[in-house]
Chain A
Amino acid sequence: MQPFTRLDGLVAPLDRANVDTDAIIPKQFLKSIKRTGFGPNAFDEWRYLDHGEPGMDNSKRPLNPDFVLNQSRYQGASVLLARENFGCGSSREHAPWALEDYGFRAIIAPSFADIFYNNCFKNGLLPIVLPAEVVEQLFRETDAAEGYRLLIDLEAQTVATPDGDVFAFEVDAERKHRLLHGLDDIGITLRFTDQIKAYEARRKQEAPWLFA
């Protein structure tokens, strides 16, 4: 996993609440058995005018000019600004894979769905919760200034605007540590092998039927 430390990124706004993972990456692309290559199909049904299927040459498909991420001013964005309950619905990790593959490294919203929030951290993608009124302000500023960027500092847990506003955000110490260093969860957990075995030995006494 690539580490996340600081990001100075162009912001793209997605002004709708309850964006679900079906919308982030439609189901037909879930048939892939790979982890990469989902970016061109992120938001497929909103982004293209035709119906997308796996294996199509996406560069030849007609883009929906009304979809915000297709506007030229947002090309190359790495920060996604979103509304409440972002990432609700299906647990598919293909959603963060698609966003990451598209080029996003951070998502800012007033709230996230739990599973999606959790999945982001496994993929070097930083979900940031900011108060609704701050998110509202960022939407206004993004809209008003072309080329609007935010400076995100994970170590300091801050988001800074070009005007010098600095907003602090919360993140679990453990998750932060792993993201900062790009650590592999499984490797860390296997260091607890003795504890896991001790738990199993104890549990086998208490509830033998679980291991029958």
Chain B
Amino acid sequence: MQPRTLYDKLWDDHVVHVEPDGTTLLYIDRHLVHEVTSPQAFEGLRINGRKLWRVASVLATPDHNVPTSDRAAGIADPVSRTQVETLDANCRDFGLTEFAMDDRRQGIVHVIGPEQGFTQPGVTLVCGDSHTSTHGAFAALAFGIGTSEVEHVMATQCLWQKKSKAMLVRVDGELPPGVTAKDIVLAVIGRIGTAGGTGHAIEFGGSAIRALSMEGRMTLCNMAIEAGARAGLVAVDERTIEYMRGRPGAPAGENWERAVAYWRTLTSDEGAAFDAIVELDATAIRPQVTWGTSPEMVTGIDGRVPDPAEAPNPVKQADWTRALQYMGLKAHTPITEIAVDKVFIGSCTNSRIEDLRAAAEVARWGLRNGRKVAAGVRQALVVPGSGLVKAEAEAEGLDQVFIEAGFEWRDPGCSMCLAMNADRLEPGERCASTSNRNFEGRQGQGGRTHLVSPAMAAAAAMFGHFVDVREVMR
């Protein structure tokens, strides 16, 4: 048999039917549902008198609109409240499993899927959310879909898809201390651009990727979509299998052994052909900070805001000029001289336990050295990705470290990643954020976002401006 990529294997195992032009009916094993992209899908099912094909394939939770403080008081914004209540009602009517707002397992869809063992190696997993690429960290074929497709999967358990091309991003070498998965993926996007992976599924490989924890791999795959790829992938190894062990949704008994044997086959074969290969040297990656309004507008912490006059082409030049204007930045400004008004640690990119530990370590360092959240920083939020992450962090005392250092410790949800709830930037405010998108208005109209790792965000909070976390922690 011809050597196959991991993507080929996942694809082949889910083909139900192929049309002459290659359009394929692909079987979907798992479906995550949240309140924003599902109401119109349920409405469509009702109008057409359709049922769900497989109720057990769905896990639902509200995350985008939920408040992150004083949850007992309910949702103040009536429009947000309606949307969350609509999800509750739809899940009740259609008999779906939902972790509602008051459930301790509630959280961001992309955090709770893996946490529950709902996400598994070898499955196809979809969600009406572009960051579904996150789950590819488990060698699952996972991608975001629109609401019509949400309805389609609910009604048929399938999707019509064209096979993508396969890209390999190989990162070899040891990451320097203080440099994280977030920095790897920002460096990749800086290299290939936000459309660099369009039409591809990106498999991340190489020794630096194998050395990452599952949390780190999720961060990496989460942002594959920011490189234009609908899906990110990491091959199964012992770390993947260890992560799965004992999760509520993980296979049990005899099934466990069978599943593990299958999972071990989920790697690209020796000699498998990729349509594109990108190579990065991990030892050369520095902590990354975005300076513009697209994740590809990124540089190292020791860099400067670029000069649009030096842009590679006229379209980019216009983009950079507009971005600097929106961001209120001057060309050539050293990144370390950029002061921040707010800090956000959270989102499906960086709200897992490891992320919170990394941020807390910087906060602890601050406390030991007489530093707290800097006076110029109006608000520094820490928003765990799920109720279970929150509980784990509290058991480790991380909440106390954050609170003592001047951070606010919140309840789980998307929060200031996209500001659909009350957590947002005011016009002109500048934020060090661990989320994944720095688009205009993403964190609140007129808000200015700089994407960084959790440790870099915590360090920016302690100093009031960006600093090189490698120097701080030395």
A positions within 8 Å CB-CB of B: 16-18, 20, 22-23, 26-28, 30-35, 45, 51, 54-55, 83-85, 88-94, 96, 111, 113-115, 118-119, 122-123, 172-175, 185-186, 189-190, 192, 195-196, 199-200, 203, 207-212
B positions within 8 Å CB-CB of A: 16-17, 19-21, 23, 25, 27, 29, 36-37, 39-40, 43, 48, 50, 53, 56, 64-65, 77, 79-80, 82-83, 86, 120, 122-123, 128-130, 132, 143-149, 151-152, 155-158, 160, 162, 164, 194-195, 198-199, 228, 230, 251-252, 255-256, 258-259, 262, 294, 315-316, 318-319, 322, 418-420, 437, 439-442, 445
- The answer to whether B130 and A196 have CB atoms under 8 Å apart is no
- The answer to whether B439 and A195 have CB atoms under 8 Å apart is no
Residues of B within 8 A of A211 (CB): 56
Report the minimal beta-carbon distance from B275 to chain A, rounded to whole angstroms: 15
- The answer to whether A185 and B420 have CB atoms under 8 Å apart is no
Counting residue pairs across A and B whose Cβ atoms lie within 8 Å, the total is: 188
Residues of B within 8 A of A209 (CB): 120, 251, 255-256, 258-259
CA gap between A17 and B155 in the complex, in Å:
36
Residues of B within 8 A of A34 (CB): 39-40, 43
Residues of A within 8 A of B164 (CB): 114
**Closest residue of A by beta carbon distance from B256:** A209
Report the minimal beta-carbon distance from A131 to chain B, rounded to whole angstroms: 14
Given contacts A16-B318, A22-B418, 7 further A-B contacts (CB under 8 A): A27-B420, A33-B40, A89-B437, A114-B230, A192-B17, A192-B156, A200-B27
CA gap between A122 and B160 in the complex, in Å:
11
With A113-B195, A115-B146, A208-B258 as known contacts, state yes or no: A18 contacts B294, CB within 8 Å. yes
Residues of A within 8 A of B149 (CB): 118-119, 122
- The answer to whether B129 and A91 have CB atoms under 8 Å apart is yes
CA gap between A9 and B4 in the complex, in Å:
46
- The answer to whether B157 and A88 have CB atoms under 8 Å apart is no
- The answer to whether B25 and A189 have CB atoms under 8 Å apart is yes
Report the minimal beta-carbon distance from B301 to chain A, rounded to whole angstroms: 24
Which of A31, A93, A111 is the one whose CB lies under 8 Å from B80? A31
Residues of A within 8 A of B123 (CB): 210
Which of B122, B144, B162, B420 is the one whose CB lies under 8 Å from A91? B144
**Closest residue of B by beta carbon distance from A176:** B21
- The answer to whether A113 and B144 have CB atoms under 8 Å apart is no
Report the minimal beta-carbon distance from B320 to chain A, rounded to whole angstroms: 11
Residues of A within 8 A of B155 (CB): 186, 189-190
Residues of B within 8 A of A26 (CB): 441, 445
- The answer to whether B441 and A22 have CB atoms under 8 Å apart is yes
- The answer to whether A33 and B39 have CB atoms under 8 Å apart is yes
Report the minimal beta-carbon distance from A193 to chain B, rounded to whole angstroms: 8
Report the minimal beta-carbon distance from A95 to chain B, rounded to whole angstroms: 9
CA gap between A185 and B386 in the complex, in Å:
35
- The answer to whether A196 and B129 have CB atoms under 8 Å apart is no
CA gap between A115 and B160 in the complex, in Å:
13
Report the minimal beta-carbon distance from A197 to chain B, rounded to whole angstroms: 10
- The answer to whether A23 and B440 have CB atoms under 8 Å apart is yes
- The answer to whether A173 and B441 have CB atoms under 8 Å apart is no
Residues of B within 8 A of A22 (CB): 418, 437, 439-442
- The answer to whether A17 and B315 have CB atoms under 8 Å apart is yes
User: Top 4 closest A-B pairs, CB basis?
Assistant: A209-B251, A93-B146, A33-B39, A122-B148
- The answer to whether A18 and B319 have CB atoms under 8 Å apart is yes
**Closest residue of A by beta carbon distance from B42:** A33
CA gap between A145 and B130 in the complex, in Å:
39
Report the minimal beta-carbon distance from B153 to chain A, rounded to whole angstroms: 10
- The answer to whether A85 and B194 have CB atoms under 8 Å apart is yes
- The answer to whether B322 and A16 have CB atoms under 8 Å apart is yes
Report the minimal beta-carbon distance from A36 to chain B, rounded to whole angstroms: 9
Which of A28, A30, A173 is the one whose CB lies under 8 Å from B21? A173
Report the minimal beta-carbon distance from A124 to chain B, rounded to whole angstroms: 11
Which of B16, B195, B228 is the one whose CB lies under 8 Å from A199? B16
CA gap between A196 and B160 in the complex, in Å:
13
With A93-B147, A190-B155 as known contacts, state yes or no: A185 contacts B160, CB within 8 Å. yes
Residues of A within 8 A of B158 (CB): 189, 192, 196
Residues of B within 8 A of A20 (CB): 437, 439
Report the minimal beta-carbon distance from B80 to chain A, rounded to whole angstroms: 6
Residues of B within 8 A of A196 (CB): 16, 25, 27, 53, 156-158
- The answer to whether B16 and A192 have CB atoms under 8 Å apart is yes
